[in-house]
Structure 1
Amino acid sequence: MIKPSRRRFLQTTTLSGLALATSSKWPALAQSATIIGERLTDQVDIFIGTGGHGHTYPGATVPFGMVQLSPDTGTSGWDHCSGYHLDDPTIMGFSHTHLSGTGAADLLDILLMPGTGTPHPDPGPENDPGSGYRSRFSHADEIATPGYYSVLLKDSNIKAELTATNRVGLHRYTFPEDATGHFVIDLQHGVDDDNLQGERTNILTSEIEIVGNDTVSGGRRTKEWAPGRYIYFAMKFSKPFNKAVIVSGANTLDPSVKTATGDNIRCILDMGDSNDADVVHVKVGISAVSVQGALANLDAEVPAWDFEGVRRAASEAWENELQKIAITTTNQTNKKIFYTALYHSLVAPTVMSDVDGQYRGSDLAVHALPTGTQNYTTFSLWDTYRALHPLYTLIQTKRLPDIVNALIRMAAEGPAGVPVWPLQAVETACMIGYHSSSVVAEAYVKGIPGIDYKAAYKYWRKRAMDDDYRGLGNYRKLGYDAADLDDESASKTLEYAYDDWAVAHLAKAAGEMADYKLLLKRSRNYKNVFDKQSTFVRPRLSTGGWAEPFDPKGMGHSKKWRDYTESNSWQATFLNQHDVYEYMDLFGGQSQFLAKLDHLFNQSSELPADAPPDIAGMVGQYAHGNEPGHHVAYLYAYAGAHHKTQSRVRMLCNTMYTALPDGLAGNEDCGQMSAWYVLSSLGFYAVDPVSGNYVFGSPLFDFATVDLGNGHKLMLEAINNSADNIYIQSVTFNGKPYTKSWFRHADIIDGGKFIFHMGSKPNEHFGAKPADRPPSFVPQHELA
């Protein structure tokens, strides 16, 4: 069976003729969503990414929050992976869990929708909102700031306001005067089923209970992208409801029935008439463990009905996180893009444990955490190992042990083995490789405390050495994954080679030196899919020959399956992060490697008709809209042409990110797209996260300070910086001349200051000497 990549919608549907957000729609939205002020939260424009194919949501959450309380405007098609798209005219309701910028869909749990007049238990179609509970709305009536969302529901004239704590969503609804109000709770609501023919969420089971006249609780188990996950809720109302009616399928149950189970459960709450404008608060706690856990979360985090207090606390939580990086620039647009990117970088992974420390493990059993620790979920690892997790090693060092230990627990507890793309205790097995290896190995190399790396090694060793997992058996036997035996084999070979590099470091941490040496050697298996004659990475057959026909812009050699993952040979050819100098020799040397890089960026951007939409943000055949190419502009530095890295990186910062709803070149992918901008605009990037090194780019801001924790700060100053002065003329580090085009994490973790002197013409000597170029395939301890 072919395991699909995350784009399970691609073969069936996309939103055809999607109209990207333009200035005709955007000014009113921008005006309502942006407040002039000194707080960094005021610089965040949450609507960036909600148009185009960014797949972000505008609702309320706190940093790494378990609750993401946001409006749902649609549930089918690729551009509704987050439940929201800017082009939609109606809102179905407000659910409590969302994915940020992914290319696959799930969650949208526990939908609540207020209404007036005759209630409807179903949403109805978008083209006839009056037939269901959905409502029309206008972007002019939306406000979104970190931790807060508001909108006017036009059909009922109800003002909806949302805020959140870590585990609780708090709603405030202002009903119009002289209206009969109600709420609909829809436990069937969620992403459409796999066939995308209009069916609703695949519910394995759901349950609901009416408790008194102010509380509803329940839960559900779904079979969607993360099959078999659990979610529970406890929902309390500030105003008692007059009557609660459960609807099960097509049957409206007698009001005396207080509990129900099934696969299509809804509930209608009659709130009675309002004489004056009636304000109703609703607080909803969630849990993956139990209703009791959800109730305990609710009572612990929102004991009162203080909406403004919770809103202020959410805003302060965001302000504290955003203040970890301070920038100085006269370009207010770039400032908005930067802090929105930093915001999106801190949305996922998400907490997934209760206030008492209980969590549902990847074995689907309930476990207890040590006091003072938290469990995490929502790891888009194929994407985020590249920039998001390196960013966390700088600004989330206190949180990072919990994040890494969560991955280790998943590996220990779950039948699927080491994490690949885990979501709410379920392994989706989405995408290729197993790049949790990189996250754990990077933490080891960078000395993150509180993690038992030696104990962790056995789990990643099993995957690397024993598991017959998605072509790994072929990879170990042949030295590559074979195109006639497995899908996406060329990309898998490259990704497994990088995982070997990462796991080798964990072997060293465990003192397993024989494994260490074996894995280092095996991490050069990328050579086995490199064709020296064409200087392209190509799919290879189990017999040893190259798969034919070959088109470097194509998706593969046959219609049976693709040979590359969300890329073609042009992009895959530069997917080498850890062994660049050995790789460079395969092209024939430095000059040939540079010429090939130039050709990548300078040729036609034409793609075949069957190319997935993930291959986006094109500059030649470089695709910034998808993650495999995110390090490529920095590879010039390894060939002694760092000035070309500077030019390419500045160009990408300026062209691939805008302050508009369609301002992302591709899926946000749980923060990776934004984390690339955060790091690159600061002036550096982790080409090979496991190396523990960073390569300079071209700093976008005049001054930046990164709070590394424990009183340590990394400062970066760019003198004579401007839109024209993009080239580094010279660098000093802590007051001394610095000629290298890279630096170690160990060099700056206790703080330091880089000063870049910028100019309009390239200094081709900076970083050009072999001794000044970034190291590659050099374990960190050998650089000490």
Structure 2
Amino acid sequence: MVTRRRFLQGMAAFTALGQVGSLTALASGVQEGLDASSASGGTAAEGVLRYVDVFVGTGGHGHTFPGATRPFGMVQLSPDTYNAQWDASSGYHQGDGSIMGFSHTHLSGTGAADMLDFLVMPSMGPVRLQPGDRDFDGVNYVSRFDAKRQGDGKPEKGYKTGVKGYRSHYTNESAHPGYYRVKLTQHDILAELTATLRTGMHRYTFGKEGDAHLLLDMTHGYQDDMDKPTRLSDVELTLVGNDTIVGGRRVYQWASGRVIYFAMKVSRPIAIATLYENDKPLPKGTATAKGDHLKAALHFDKASSEPLLVKVGISGVDIDGAMRNLEGEIPGWDFDGVRASAEAEWEHELSKIRVASSSDKVKRTFYSSLYHTMLAPTVFSDIDGRYRGMDRAVHTLPEGRHNYSTYSLWDTYRAEHPLFTLYQSERVPDLVDGLVRLAVESPSGAPVWPLQGVETVCMIGYHSAVVLAEAQAKGFTGIDYMKAWPVFRRRAMQDDYFGLPYYRKLGYIPSEKEGEAVSKTLEYAYDDWAVAHMAEALGHGDDASLLRKRSQNYRNVFDKDTQFMRPRAEDGTWLQPFDPIAIGHSNRWRDFTESNAWQATFLNQHDVYNYMGLFGGEEGFEKKLDGLFNADPTLPDNAPPDIAGMVGQYAFGNEPGHHMPYLYAYTGAHHKTQARVRMLLETMYLPEPDGLPGNEDCGQMSAWYVMSAMGLYAVDPVSTNYVFGSPLLDRAEVQVGGGRVLVIEAKDNGPGRPYIQSVSWNGKPWTKSWIPHKELAAGGTLSFVMGDVPNESFGKAGADRPPSFGEPAKA
């Protein structure tokens, strides 16, 4: 049982580790405390922690995981219910009814899959080496985890709320930030999980007497399908004494060739340890094994009433690093202390934004979203500062720095990184200078989607440029922009990278020469805009001028006759046939990235006023934008599942559309932005497993909600400006760094009142429909007055509209 006293001890330990400075923001949460629940052995979270539902996104196509981790943690210790097919991208889906085991690395909300390293499964009786299928057969090592099921074998209907502070569809499962618990019904084993930054800790309580063992399955990982095992090499296992096993492996999945190591200790002596190769036991006494298909069974004396504790450190460097991480972060066996420290850290980080709303649903959705924004990027360096770089070599960081991985940049540059510049400002230099380090070390240059020291080259563009340019424009120091410049200049000016030579030569990418050419042209134009800012700030005026001009290449794939972005051939002709809902000019070709011509037509984020001229002016552009939201939502049969959350042909469930509702602000019809944003906030998100409109994508889907619920959105992050939307919260207090507080309040707010009547900043009228970052970062009070009818004059004057392309509105 974890009491309020234990929580305070955990908070003290957390502070003593030097992981946070002042815990002022935590004070109110500490006052409320964490009360013990009597029946479950679990903590009922108070403070803001009680609003976080870690199961949000574990259903539908959210692709999140519910297990234990720390903010930006290297370890994500979570149950795996399945490891093949798209909806198993995180290893967990709430529609599955069985658990394969508990692995130590997971991706949050991605559409591509990997990880699931070092699966541990407690069991009793004979050793079973095969996981089996989700359809539990009772003869493999998977276990059901819901003892109370409907007769048809499906989860009970409805969203179960058991112990206060926990939520799950399953009566035997519950969790909150930093802690997960489940009853494995096959052998009546209670499994509990918690974590530090680089280690995971398990506690297994056996409800029956008999022979107990742990299975460590080194073959487990994400698979393309169940008939294609995880591709591995250099797998090794070594037993050390009677309480430790260490090892590592190289994995060839999405991040092909990544290496990862572990060190695992158990709290009771191992009575018998058997290593297996190709599912055959190795001779008795074998302490070391190498191969591509290894497993280990660790047997213990008769199941004891005392729980079996397991602690696992991981490292991307070597086994010694994994052991140092383990011994440095969990030197003892105090599971409840580690858990209390995890809860204290989450309470501290979540409390950086304190909100008020009359709706409990809004608060639960907000804090569940805020939680998800801190699951990536993830630390990928050891406690001694060593890390494996993008060049596959081992490097050592300067003291006090962390190396990071898991940058889903195509997604997160849009809202998550702008959000970090507000409420994680102290962490921004580490996160962004980490991108510089990755860029310099990587043979492929500018980071695109780096994962555990490997460039996956997933998605289009090279939007690490946007994150750097935004931080530079917002004045963040401690980032080596000068060191980054040659890498990003080379990408923009020289690299032969996915159609860039065509882009430089023709001003667009021909769609018969390169897949997804229209989307690539448009996203390279925005990257040009970002790199132009970097060049200007570093004194490279000629490069800045060239790139700024080139960032208007979007014009070259715009067809004035149809008023759509569309595929174009190398000879300049428009490719036929053309259908604005199609994803390609033939069924075998994609001209757009997870989108179609309707959606691509509004990808412009940085040059909106000049773009309007292609539609005949702001009236024509506004009419076309209306058309996007009001069109028939039908999609072609070959549309990818990522195109989701449809409102007309607007696909909110995929990231390229996230700025589009805010474009009305540039036409002077800001009231349409207000109405549309409020509708999306209220209808696209729920604090439920199937509560996300699409993939979570490492925090971007949630970051949109967090920013928009506060009434802000960075249409063009490089501009450093935020466009107003329609604040859903009644009040938010944001710790913006250096002891400064940003207060955002919405008076006369509520359902049916999405319209801004007026705005004031620090008590003075503010007529603009946008505000610069430097104002908010200084702290102050931004006050909205809301109403049930639009004030169409707000933001209508040209001087009050957001600037674009570095220029004010021409209207």
Give the TM interval when normalised to the shorter protein: over 0.9
Q: How does 1:317-332 map to 2 (within 5 A)?
A: 317-332=345-360
TM superposition shift of 1:509:
2.2
The answer to whether the Cα contact below 8 Å between 1:377 and 1:424 also exists between their aligned partners in 2 is yes
Q: How does 1:280-679 map to 2 (within 5 A)?
A: 280-679=308-707
Secondary structure of 2:171's match? Answer: helix
Of 699, 704, 720, which residue of structure 2 is paired with 1:692? 720
The answer to whether the Cα contact below 8 Å between 2:385 and 2:401 also exists between their aligned partners in 1 is yes
CA distance in 2, matches of 1:467, 1:211: 48
CA distance in 2, matches of 1:293, 1:211: 16
TM superposition shift of 1:176:
2.0
CA distance in 2, matches of 1:587, 1:32: 62
Match of 1:44 in 2: 52
Secondary structure of 2:49's match? Answer: helix
Match of 1:15 in 2: none
TM superposition shift of 1:754:
1.0
Q: Unaligned regions of 5+ residues in structure 2, if any?
A: 1-38, 147-169
Match of 2:223 in 1: 192
CA distance in 2, matches of 1:165, 1:779: 47
TM superposition shift of 1:604:
1.2
Matched, 1:156 2:187: yes
Q: Per-residue displacement from partner, 1:132-172 (whole Å, max 9, x unpaired)? A: 21111121111110000000001010000000000000000
Matched, 1:239 2:268: yes
Q: Supply the AA of the counterpart residue of 1:190.
A: G
The answer to whether the Cα contact below 8 Å between 1:152 and 1:160 also exists between their aligned partners in 2 is yes
The answer to whether the Cα contact below 8 Å between 2:279 and 2:295 also exists between their aligned partners in 1 is no
Secondary structure of 2:254's match? Answer: coil
Q: Supply the AA of the counterpart residue of 1:500.
A: D
The answer to whether the Cα contact below 8 Å between 1:32 and 1:141 also exists between their aligned partners in 2 is no
Change (3 A) 1:98 1:578: same
Structure 1-normalised TM-score?
Answer: 0.94
The answer to whether the Cα contact below 8 Å between 2:74 and 2:198 also exists between their aligned partners in 1 is yes
TM superposition shift of 1:406:
1.1
Q: Unaligned regions of 5+ residues in structure 1, if any?
A: 1-30
Q: Choose 746-755 or 76-85, whichever is displaced more.
A: 746-755
The answer to whether the Cα contact below 8 Å between 1:33 and 1:144 also exists between their aligned partners in 2 is no
Of 257, 267, 281, which residue of structure 2 is paired with 1:228? 257
Q: Supply the AA of the counterpart residue of 2:400.
A: G
TM superposition shift of 1:278:
3.4
Matched, 1:97 2:128: no
The answer to whether the Cα contact below 8 Å between 1:32 and 1:143 also exists between their aligned partners in 2 is no
Match of 1:66 in 2: 74
Match of 1:260 in 2: 289
CA distance in 1, matches of 2:340, 2:588: 54
Q: Per-residue displacement from partner, 1:178-230 (whole Å, max 9, x unpaired)? A: 2210000011100114xx25222100221000111100000000100000001
CA distance in 1, matches of 2:133, 2:336: 34
Matched, 1:774 2:782: no
Match of 2:199 in 1: 168
Change (3 A) 1:249 1:306: same
CA distance in 1, matches of 2:661, 2:175: 34
CA distance in 1, matches of 2:395, 2:482: 22
Match of 1:717 in 2: 745
TM superposition shift of 1:660:
1.1
What CA RMSD, in Å, does the superposition of the two structures yield over aligned residues? 1.4
The answer to whether the Cα contact below 8 Å between 1:33 and 1:142 also exists between their aligned partners in 2 is no
Q: Choose 467-476 or 130-139, whichever is displaced more.
A: 130-139
Match of 2:140 in 1: 132
CA distance in 2, matches of 1:46, 1:99: 14
TM superposition shift of 1:414:
1.2
The answer to whether the Cα contact below 8 Å between 2:587 and 2:638 also exists between their aligned partners in 1 is no
Match of 1:214 in 2: 243
CA distance in 2, matches of 1:729, 1:424: 48
TM superposition shift of 1:639:
0.2
CA distance in 2, matches of 1:747, 1:143: 42
Secondary structure of 1:131's match? Answer: coil
TM superposition shift of 1:272:
2.1
Q: Choose 94-103 or 245-254, whichever is displaced more.
A: 245-254
Q: Supply the AA of the counterpart residue of 1:625.
A: G
Match of 1:731 in 2: 759
Change (3 A) 1:165 1:693: same
The answer to whether the Cα contact below 8 Å between 1:623 and 1:629 also exists between their aligned partners in 2 is yes
Matched, 1:765 2:782: no
Q: Supply the AA of the counterpart residue of 1:561.
A: W
Secondary structure of 2:466's match? Answer: helix
CA distance in 1, matches of 2:796, 2:210: 73
Change (3 A) 1:137 1:424: same
Match of 1:7 in 2: none
Change (3 A) 1:33 1:712: farther
The answer to whether the Cα contact below 8 Å between 1:453 and 1:509 also exists between their aligned partners in 2 is no
CA distance in 1, matches of 2:550, 2:228: 46
Q: Per-residue displacement from partner, 1:89-134 (whole Å, max 9, x unpaired)? A: 1100000000000000000000000001111122123334422211
Secondary structure of 2:91's match? Answer: coil
Instruction: List structure 1 runs of 4+ shifted beyond 3 angstroms.
Output: 31-38
TM superposition shift of 1:422:
0.4
Percentage identity across aligned positions? 58
CA distance in 1, matches of 2:45, 2:301: 41
CA distance in 1, matches of 2:45, 2:262: 37
CA distance in 2, matches of 1:34, 1:652: 35
Q: Choose 628-637 or 121-130, whichever is displaced more.
A: 121-130
The answer to whether the Cα contact below 8 Å between 2:98 and 2:144 also exists between their aligned partners in 1 is yes
CA distance in 2, matches of 1:45, 1:187: 31
The answer to whether the Cα contact below 8 Å between 2:436 and 2:483 also exists between their aligned partners in 1 is no
TM superposition shift of 1:454:
2.0
Q: Supply the AA of the counterpart residue of 1:247.
A: Y
TM superposition shift of 1:37:
5.7
The answer to whether the Cα contact below 8 Å between 1:190 and 1:201 also exists between their aligned partners in 2 is yes
The answer to whether the Cα contact below 8 Å between 2:187 and 2:208 also exists between their aligned partners in 1 is no
The answer to whether the Cα contact below 8 Å between 1:633 and 1:648 also exists between their aligned partners in 2 is yes
Match of 1:269 in 2: 298
TM superposition shift of 1:569:
0.5
Secondary structure of 1:82's match? Answer: coil
Secondary structure of 2:249's match? Answer: strand
CA distance in 2, matches of 1:120, 1:183: 11
Q: Per-residue displacement from partner, 1:636-695 (whole Å, max 9, x unpaired)? A: 000000000000000000011011110000000000000000000000100000110000
Change (3 A) 1:266 1:748: same
Change (3 A) 1:32 1:515: farther
Q: Supply the AA of the counterpart residue of 2:295.
A: R
TM superposition shift of 1:560:
3.3
Secondary structure of 2:301's match? Answer: strand
Structure 2-normalised TM-score?
Answer: 0.91
Matched, 1:147 2:175: no
Match of 2:774 in 1: 746
Q: Supply the AA of the counterpart residue of 1:165.
A: T
Matched, 1:118 2:147: no
